[in-house]
Amino acid sequence: MSDAQIIGWGHTVFGKSDQPDTENLMAQAVAEALEHAQIDAEEVDGIFVGVFNNGFSKQDFQAALVAMGDARFAHTPATRFENACATGSAALHGALDFIAAGRGRIALVVGAEKMTATPTAEVGDILLTACYRNEEADVEGGFAGLFGKIAQSYFQQYGDRSEELAMIAAKNHANGMANPYAHMRKDFGLEFCNTVSEKNPRVAGPLRRTDCSLVSDGAAVLVIADPETAANAPRAIGFRARVQANDIMALSRRDVLEFRGARMAWTKALEQSGLTLDDLSLVETHDCFTIAEMLEYEAMGLAAPGQGHRIIREGITRKEGRLPVNPSGGLKSKGHPIGATGVSMHVMAAMQLMAEAGEMQIPDAKLAGVFNMGGAAVANYVSVLERVK
């Protein structure tokens, strides 16, 4: 669909950062990305910034902060995007459209968030702005409470799958051990993840702490370019497909277990690319909660509704399985700085396709799928990436 290609990237370590704000986080990742792509700041025609914010910082107007970190961008057009947890993917789509329209030849996609400086109670309330507050603002447990309700509904309809959720958590934490950018590089093991304890308490409904992604700081940057420019770059990753599909925001107005918007995005992306899931070498998916990853197995077509538990039990999505899912550790281990997440997922996939993923590497990776969602499967983005050079 788009001729634009990824030619470089930068990525900070996710976690509790010493950097005081998004301005500094973005500056660090942008500098790394320019060096990686071997381009100068003056060559960049547009900057597309994804920061959720909405209360994490009193400083907004985040698109202008890139030039505060590097004055060479003072006169480069910069625009800020926000689409809940899919903010980074929204910024990427804006940049891809910019290149495809011929308005520029090189663009930066910058995703960032500074979350850990905000008190925990405030974090929960800020994240609830990604739900339909008219109906869902008072849910106990914040956004985890929403997914706790989703997990409860799933269990009521298909049986208790707590152990399979723990298997997903254990898989992703084990994968994250190999990711130098990950927030939580610790292999907890299945028994710990599956046991409610003082260190792993229930957070909301059947979800335990190990079923929930982390509150993190971080930034990630992609450099994208038109094909002529990419032909002279040291590396190039193309888009076989890129799709966005939305669903209604209010949970009361849809069957949330269907993840219909996610299913639509995957179906369209596979049709657009001319591929099937069997053609993919790996998938980076949005495991904000383990129940989300299980539902995404069903939405992408790996399993029928209610059968997602079989996918993790059969080892299909393990690193050595038929379709590795989240070899980076996913949001569960890598962390989830909201605005950076969608950009980071594409960086992780691109690293795999360029065989630059180090200990995370999936052997002979040729094609990668990326699924990023905002809210409870409201804004859904799927990319299918392939190495061009």
- State the catalytic residues: 85, 336
Give 137-188 as a 3 state SS string: CCCCCHHHHHHHHHHHHHHHHHCCCHHHHHHHHHHHHHHHCCCCCCCCCCCC
**Residue type at 260 in one-letter notation:** R
Residues 6+ positions from 227 with CB-CB distance below 8 Å: 3, 4, 5
What is the C-alpha to C-alpha distance for residues 308 and 39, in angstroms, rounded to an integer?
Answer: 44
What is the C-alpha to C-alpha distance for residues 333 and 336, in angstroms, rounded to an integer?
Answer: 9
What is the C-alpha to C-alpha distance for residues 210 and 208, in angstroms, rounded to an integer?
Answer: 5
CB 385 within 8 A of CB 240: yes
Residues 6+ positions from 374 with CB-CB distance below 8 Å: 83, 84, 85, 86, 87, 90, 130, 380
CB 31 within 8 A of CB 221: no
70 by Cβ neighbours in 10 Å (0-12 / 13-18 / 19+) ranks as middle
Token pair listed for 266? 């995957």
E strand residue ranges, the chain: 5-11, 46-50, 78-81, 106-113, 202-204, 207-208, 218-225, 237-246, 282-284, 367-374, 379-387
